[in-house]
């Protein structure tokens, strides 16, 4: 396996990959995929972890124009943080030395919309009880906006809540694992929040890697 890049180098690879995706100029061909599949049969060394939303319109490998073995991808509606996601990230960082984690949300997120609707209309309940576990994790970010007194319409609230939820997930991830926190403090791991724009294809990073 090749040596892992630094967090900053890994971040730059994703920035450049997203630019290629926007321009429709992929680095990867079908033959590249076939060749890499054989090479990766004996092991992997993903250079970034992507904790993203399950939305079908935001496939991380395509959005960042990366190939087989490049990304360790975890997807859950609303890109929320739960113990299983934290454990998966710990696994990648410890086992493969992966130096970068991206928490990837997106515009017009359905999970955010569901949370906004649940808080604005608390008497209306979904028939899918397990959705409540996701809404519960997103709700504090939305409630904070509702309590702020900002005069936002529903679309503006959803837009602001998408970003607030990403920042909340980054903060939770940084402080919910002693191992991850130690790796960040040691400069061996960086955690970045990002929002994918469904209309333009651009990933807007909410913070960067120094």
Question: Each residue of 11-36: pLDDT tens digit?
Answer: 999 999 999 999 999 887 777 778 88
* Average pLDDT, rounded, for the chain: 91
Please report whether residue 38 resides in a domain: yes
Q: Has residue 27 been placed in a domain?
A: yes
- Residue 51 lies in domain: 7-107+170-205
Q: How many domains does the chain have?
A: 1
Q: Residue 63: enclosing H or E segment and its boundaries? A: helix 60-63
| pLDDT tens track for 26-73 | 887 777 778 888 889 899 999 999 999 999 999 999 999 999 999 999
For residue 35, the model assigns a pLDDT of: 80
* Residue 66 falls inside a structural domain: yes
Count of beta carbons in the 10 Å neighbourhood of residue 91: 13
Neighbours of 107 (CB within 10 A): 18
Closest to 210 (Cα-Cα) out of 6, 16, 64, 15: 6
CB 81 within 8 A of CB 31: no
For residue 42, the domain's CATH number is: 3.40.1050.10
Residue 138's CB: how many other CB atoms inside 10 A?
A: 27
Asked, for residue 63, whether it belongs to a domain, the answer is yes
């Amino acid at each position: 396996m090749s040596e892992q890049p630094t967090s900053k180098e890994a971040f730059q690879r994703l920035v450049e990959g997203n630019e290629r995706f926007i321009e429709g100029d992929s680095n990867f061909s079908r033959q590249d995929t076939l060749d890499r599949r054989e090479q990766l049969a004996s092991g992997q060394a993903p250079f970034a972890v992507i904790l993203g939303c399950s939305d079908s319109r935001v496939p991380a490998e395509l959005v960042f124009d990366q190939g087989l073995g490049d990304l360790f991808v975890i997807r859950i509606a609303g890109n929320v943080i739960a113990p299983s996601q934290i454990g998966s990230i710990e696994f990648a960082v410890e086992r493969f030395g992966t130096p970068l984690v991206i928490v990837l949300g997106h515009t017009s997120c359905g999970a955010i919309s569901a949370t906004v609707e649940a808080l604005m209309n608390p008497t209306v309940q979904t028939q899918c009880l397990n959705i409540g576990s996701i809404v519960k994790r997103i709700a504090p970010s939305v409630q904070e906006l509702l309590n702020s007194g900002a005069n936002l319409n529903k679309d503006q609230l959803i837009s602001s809540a998408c970003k607030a939820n990403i920042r909340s997930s980054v903060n939770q991830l940084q402080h919910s694992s002693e191992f991850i926190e130690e790796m960040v403090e040691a400069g061996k791991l960086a955690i970045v929040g990002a929002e994918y724009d469904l209309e333009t294809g651009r990933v807007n990073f909410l913070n960067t890697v120094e």
